[in-house]
Amino acid sequence: MTLNVPKELQSRLPSKTGTPVKRLQQSTGTDSLALAKKRFPQIMADLQKRLAMAFELLHESEDDRLRRQLGTLYLQTADNPQRSQAFKAKASQTISENLQNILQAKPSQDQIDSYVKGFTNDLKALLVEQARNHAAQAGIALDNDQAAAYAAASKRAILEGRTNADSVFTSGLLHQETELGQRLRAEAAKPLPVTLEQALDLKRADLGERTLSNYATQIAAWEEHINASTLSSLSSSSLNSFIRWLASPVAKGGRGMCKDSANNYGLKIRSLIKVYNQHCKQDNQRMALPGFDLLQHSETEKRQKVLKDRERAASDETCMAMQRGMIEIYPELELLIPLYRLAGLRNTEAPFLQWQHIRKDPSGTWMVDLLWSKTADGIRLIPINEKLQSILLPRRGDPDSYVLPSQIHDVKNIKDWIGDRIRNVAKHQKVNGAANAHSYRHAFGGDLSYHCTEEVKQKLMGHKGNLISHYTSEKMKALATAVEFVGTEIDFRFNKSLTKHS
What pLDDT digit, counting tens, does each position of 282-323 carry?
777 788 999 999 998 888 877 777 677 678 899 999 999 999
Q: Which residues pair with 2 in a beta bridge?
A: 25
Q: What number is the average pLDDT over the span 480-492?
A: 93
Q: What number is the average pLDDT over the span 345-350?
A: 90
Q: Does the structure show a pLDDT above 50 at 444?
A: yes
Cα 126–chain centre separation: 46
Q: What number is the average pLDDT over the span 205-232?
A: 90
Q: What number is the average pLDDT over the span 381-385?
A: 93
Q: Which residues pair with 195 in a beta bridge?
A: 230
Q: Does the structure show a pLDDT above 50 at 466?
A: no
Lowest mean pLDDT among 47-61, 169-183, 338-352, 376-390: 47-61
The CA dihedral of 445, 446, 452, 457, to the nearest 10 degrees, is 20
Q: How confident is the model at residue 467 (pLDDT cuts 50, 70, 90)?
A: very low
Return the biggest CA–CA distance within the chain.
126
Residues of the chain with CATH 1.10.443.10: 311-483
Pick the CATH number of 311-483 from 1.10.1740.10, 1.10.10.10, 1.10.443.10, 3.40.50.1980: 1.10.443.10
**pLDDT at residue 299, rounded to an integer:** 83
**pLDDT at residue 451, rounded to an integer:** 84
Could you give the CA distance from residue 487 to residue 263 in angstroms, rounded to a whole number? 33
Lowest mean pLDDT among 24-38, 224-238, 294-308: 24-38
Q: How confident is the model at residue 16 (pLDDT cuts 50, 70, 90)?
A: low
Q: Angle at CA 92, nearest 5°, toward 86 and 93?
A: 90
Q: How confident is the model at residue 46 (pLDDT cuts 50, 70, 90)?
A: low
Q: What number is the average pLDDT over the span 29-54?
A: 61
- Of 485, 480, 444, nearest in space to 361 by CA: 480
Helix (H) or strand (E) holding 76: helix 62-78
Give the orientation angle of helix 336-343 with respect to helix 437-449, to 10 degrees. Answer: 30
Lowest mean pLDDT among 376-390, 410-424, 462-476: 462-476
Q: Does the structure show a pLDDT above 90 at 147?
A: no
**pLDDT at residue 35, rounded to an integer:** 65
Q: How confident is the model at residue 118 (pLDDT cuts 50, 70, 90)?
A: confident
Could you give the CA distance from residue 501 to residue 397 in angstroms, rounded to a whole number? 5
- Of 352, 375, 354, nearest in space to 461 by CA: 375
- Of 376, 348, 336, nearest in space to 463 by CA: 376
Residue pair 265/246 in contact (Cβ under 8 Å)? The answer is: yes
- Considering 8-22, 405-419, 486-500, the range whose residues carry the highest mean pLDDT is 405-419
pLDDT mean across residues, the chain: 84
Q: How confident is the model at residue 421 (pLDDT cuts 50, 70, 90)?
A: very high
Q: What number is the average pLDDT over the span 421-434?
A: 94
Lowest mean pLDDT among 27-31, 70-74, 221-225, 398-402: 27-31
**pLDDT at residue 133, rounded to an integer:** 82
Greater confidence (295 vs 466) lies with 295
**pLDDT at residue 502, rounded to an integer:** 43
Residue pair 428/328 in contact (Cβ under 8 Å)? The answer is: yes
Q: What number is the average pLDDT over the span 472-478?
A: 81
